[in-house]
Amino acid sequence: MEIMNGGKALMKALEKEGVKQVFGLPGGANLPMYDELYKSNIRHILVRHEQSAAHMADGFGRVSRKPGVCFATSGPGSTNLLTGIATAQADSAPMVAITGQVPVKMIGRDAFQESDIIGMSNPCVKYAFQPRTPEEIPEMVKKGFYIAETGRPGPVLLDIPKDVQQNEAEITFPEEVRIPGYHPWSSIDITDIERAINLLLSSEKPIILAGGGTIISSAFAELQSIAEMLMIPVVTTFKGKGSFPENHPLSLGPIGMHGHAEANKIMTEVDCVLAIGTRFSDRSVGTFEEFERNLKIIHMDVDPAEIGKNQTAQVAVVGDVKASLRIMLKLLVKKAFKKSEDNKWLKHVNEVKDYWRANLKMHPGEMSAARILRKLREVLPKESIVTTEVGQHQMWASLFFDVIHPGTFFSSTGLGTMGWGFPASIGAKVARPDVPVLDIAGEGSFNMTENSLATSVLDNIPVIVFLVNNFSLGMVAQWQRTFYERRMIGIDLKNCPDYVKLAESYGAQGIRAQSLDELEKAIKTGLSSDVTTVIDIPIDPEEDVLPFVAPGTSLKEMILPS
Amino acid sequence: MWAIISIRVENKPGILFKVTHLFRSRNFNIDSLTVGVMENPEFSKMVITTVGDEKQIVQIVKQLDKMIDTIEVKRLDEKKTVYKELVLFKIKLSGSSDSTEINKLANTCGAKIHNVQKDSMIVELTATPDEIKAFEESIRPFGILDSARTGVTAL
């Protein structure tokens, strides 16, 4: 027991959780905790907008699998965080967001910079705490980290009134905490897994659908072993992209709205799917009713509430998917199971795959999306971490950028938050300074958080921004071309700003690449540089993302390039 | 389909808000809701009745169970559960025999009479929603001036 103020109790509690840095921006209501941050060993990384602090913490959390921490003040500081918190919730990313709040006695009086952030954030946090005394802080921090990183991860909010940061009290730091209503992992029922195996082995046209949960629980080796042992082809959701090496002979890539043609085609033919860590998002499955027609589903997920939410499963395996797959693997080894490589289904799958890989029409021109992204894959080291913004470039990345090393690709897939990729790449680089980190960006999305260039340069966190620039809000433009008879409105970004000059004005490196040779050189320059590099890559604004499964239609109705 | 869900929660502020917010944000309906402190004041019991198809009700129970503040969530089987609701009706008295007749009706279903005035009386009934509906129909001809009901609680 020690006497200290709430701010110091917070810093000590964060240090005990192993926090090395926080992403944040100070203001009136969190000054006392910043004063204690000043005295602590925790690094502060200053952002230029709180949304970016949340995305940085999110990127850090997804890569390190430990909650990233972000700080913001009360009122607008906290509401600016919300988009980032909601993004982390939609993609199950571990995060602890810590906001200042007006003093306890002022709560409810519409004080200056007061916002009911506990109420506002309720639907988009895994849990929220508001300590009313300094003594409560250590326990809430410990519970918060535990909740954020266990089971299905997610963001936790800690909203600390200013006087609670300032006041002194006798503080103790608990070694353990009890949360009676929280059961992050269910014990796995082996009979469910036996039923899953029987169903899988009795099916004629099986497939594995790997979702984001496969990446969160890093079940890469288990997934690969099972796929290879049973010789079952693997598709992924977009969030599950890169849970299975995309150059693997059994890989078909992502399904869904902008899935690979071969993946969507095969998905409509299968009779049984082993779905791992996925919530069957509408973007992945098209229409729920059509997807599950004539299909037996084995659903593995850590979250029992996902079972039966969007799709009806014949067999449900609730629990950590890595642990479930391990049990499945053991049972398969016991059965001494080895499927012959000469199976008709796999032969057919490969024919479909070969056909679409050879015959999918490409957009003309040297700098088409496919060509620039394949060039990037060729030049970028396989272990690099890649984030994306949100828009056409993101879907082109899904189609044309193969992830080889599992768990190196991250995107805002659930909430689809423009502006996520660049700050997230900075957070990722903090988590993994030893590997190159690159953000596949579109200029519309990059615009939203481009002022993070200041953070990246001044805090010496170099990343590469691969800016696919079509001078427009490209995805909206594509929908207006496709569904609104080219009545184009609100999409023209013109050539503004000049991204080379923008980068340079922040002290970063700006390079324009107008040919594949220039692009290769630019990527190499970025990789060998110790400062952030923005590569501006002008492309044809008329290029669409194809194939395309229109919203509200099934995977069968995929629109192909004509 | 009508379902009764019983939820044991920690007795602390903000939980009612979170439970009702969950219903709103997941597009579920609340038919009635009661809350009260349990014999152990650390806990409160919420009883929610809701209407939905089987799939929705299973989802509601799972989503409630997932909430960290809920300790125990049960879907109660109507046949094995005592479920009651308290209702107060303010009934108009026009003729001289009204009071006697209402008294008779009240007696047959165990309702209590309160606050008899010259032109109105209040009747209290604790019963199932169906029984309440039947009683309501029987007194409707007299004229119901006002009513209030607690929502269903169940064990």
pLDDT at B8 over 70: yes
Give the count of beta carbons closer than 10 Å to the beta carbon of residue A483: 10
pLDDT at A422 over 80: yes
Measure CB to CB from residue B68 to each of A122, A127, A308 and give the nearest one.
A127
In the set A36, A50, A262, A306, the catalytic residue is A50
* Count of domains observed in chain A: 3
User: B35 in contact with A at a CB cutoff of 8 Å?
Assistant: no
**Which chain A residue lies closest to B69 (C-alpha atoms)?**
A181
Strands (E), chain B: 2-10, 32-37, 43-51, 70-76, 83-92, 112-114, 120-127, 144-149, 153-154
Measure CB to CB from residue A304 to each of B21, B62, B67 and give the nearest one.
B62
Mark whether B105 and B149 lie in a shared domain: yes
Mark whether A127 and A237 lie in a shared domain: no
Quick: pLDDT tens for A108-162. 999 999 999 999 999 999 999 999 999 999 999 999 999 999 999 999 999 999 9
Measure CB to CB from residue B21 to each of A122, A126, A303 and give the nearest one.
A122
Please give the pLDDT value at position A339.
65
A160 with A295: CB under 8 angstroms? no
Residue A441: inside a domain = yes
User: pLDDT grade, residue A72 (50/70/90)?
Assistant: very high
In this prediction the ipTM stands at 0.90
Of A307, A327, A358, the last residue of a domain is A358
Quick: pLDDT tens for A317-352. 999 999 999 999 999 988 876 666 668 999 999 999
Asked about A112 being catalytic, the answer comes back as yes
Identify the CATH number of the domain in which residue A343 sits. Answer: 3.40.50.1220
User: B59 in contact with A at a CB cutoff of 8 Å?
Assistant: yes
Torsion of Cα atoms, A188 then A191 then A193 then A198, to 10°: -170
User: B141 in contact with A at a CB cutoff of 8 Å?
Assistant: no
In A, which residues are within 8 Å of B10 by CB distance?
Answer: 180-181
Looking up tokens 């600016």, which residue turns up? Answer: A80
Mark whether A345 and A381 lie in a shared domain: no
Mark whether B94 and B149 lie in a shared domain: yes
Please give the pLDDT value at position A343.
86
Token pair for A23: 């992403």
Of B53, B79, B105, the last residue of a domain is B79
Region of A494 on the Ramachandran plot (φ > 0 left; ψ -120 to 50 alpha; else beta): left
Mark whether B37 and B54 lie in a shared domain: yes
User: B42 in contact with A at a CB cutoff of 8 Å?
Assistant: no
In the set A16, A113, A339, A518, the catalytic residue is A113
Mark whether A370 and A340 lie in a shared domain: no
Give the count of beta carbons closer than 10 Å to the beta carbon of residue A187: 9
Quick: pLDDT tens for A355-405. 999 998 989 999 999 999 999 999 999 999 999 999 999 999 999 999 999
Mark whether A354 and A377 lie in a shared domain: no
Task: Identify how many contiguous H helices and E strands chain B contains and give both numbers.
Answer: 4, 9
Strand order in the sheet with A155-161: A43-46, A21-24, A68-72, A95-101, A155-161, A127-129
* Interface contact flag, B68 A182, Cβ < 8 Å: yes
Measure CB to CB from residue B63 to each of A118, A182, A305 and give the nearest one.
A305
Mark whether B139 and B91 lie in a shared domain: yes
Quick: pLDDT tens for A448-492. 999 999 999 999 999 999 999 999 999 999 999 999 999 999 999
Mark whether B47 and B72 lie in a shared domain: yes
**What range does the domain containing B117 cover?**
83-154
Asked about A50 being catalytic, the answer comes back as yes
User: A318 in contact with B at a CB cutoff of 8 Å?
Assistant: no
In A, which residues are within 8 Å of B15 by CB distance?
Answer: none
In A, which residues are within 8 Å of B63 by CB distance?
Answer: 305
Residue A502: inside a domain = yes
A50 phi, psi to nearest 5 deg:
-60, -30
In the set A162, A239, A322, A353, the catalytic residue is A162
* Count of domains observed in chain B: 2
Of B30, B63, B79, the last residue of a domain is B79
* Interface contact flag, A182 B70, Cβ < 8 Å: no
Strands (E), A102-199: 127-129, 155-161, 168-171
Mark whether A423 and A314 lie in a shared domain: no
**Which chain B residue lies closest to A307 (C-alpha atoms)?**
B59
Q: How many Å apart are CA A499 and CA A178, to the nearest integer? A: 51
Mark whether B40 and B91 lie in a shared domain: no
Bridge-based pairing of strands B120-127 and B144-149 is unpaired
Burial degree of A308 (CB within 10 A; 0-12, 13-18, 19+) = middle
Mark whether A224 and A289 lie in a shared domain: yes
**Contacts with B, A 268-297, CB within 8 Å:** none
Asked about A475 being catalytic, the answer comes back as yes
Identify the CATH number of the domain in which residue B14 sits. Answer: 3.30.70.260
In B, which residues are within 8 Å of A181 by CB distance?
Answer: 9-10, 67-71
Identify the CATH number of the domain in which residue A414 sits. Answer: 3.40.50.970
Mark whether B70 and B105 lie in a shared domain: no
Mark whether A354 and A368 lie in a shared domain: no
User: B88 in contact with A at a CB cutoff of 8 Å?
Assistant: no
Percentage of residues in chain A having pLDDT higher than 70: 99
Mark whether B20 and B65 lie in a shared domain: yes
Mark whether A147 and A243 lie in a shared domain: no
A172 with A44: CB under 8 angstroms? no
In the set A475, A480, A548, A558, the catalytic residue is A475
Asked about A113 being catalytic, the answer comes back as yes
pTM for this model (two decimals):
0.95
Residue A256: inside a domain = yes
Helices (H), A364-451: 369-379, 392-400, 421-431, 443-449
Mark whether B56 and B92 lie in a shared domain: no
In B, which residues are within 8 Å of A129 by CB distance?
Answer: none
Mark whether A306 and A369 lie in a shared domain: no
pLDDT at A245 over 70: yes
Mark whether A353 and A406 lie in a shared domain: no
User: pLDDT grade, residue A286 (50/70/90)?
Assistant: confident
Mark whether A329 and A456 lie in a shared domain: no
Please give the pLDDT value at position A340.
64
Mark whether A391 and A469 lie in a shared domain: yes
Mark whether B61 and B88 lie in a shared domain: no
**What range does the domain containing A194 cover?**
190-358
Q: Single out the residue of A84, A73, A69 nearest to residue A141, CA to CA.
A: A69
Which strand (E) or helix (H) includes residue A502?
helix A499-505
Mark whether B39 and B90 lie in a shared domain: no
In B, which residues are within 8 Å of A182 by CB distance?
Answer: 68
Mark whether B69 and B13 lie in a shared domain: yes
Task: Say how many CA atoms lie within 13 Å of B2 toward its Cβ.
Answer: 9
**Mutate which of A89, A118, A120, A122 to disrupt the B interface (most B C-beta within 10 Å)?**
A122
User: Looking at CA atoms only, how far is residue B85 from chain A in angstroms?
Assistant: 28
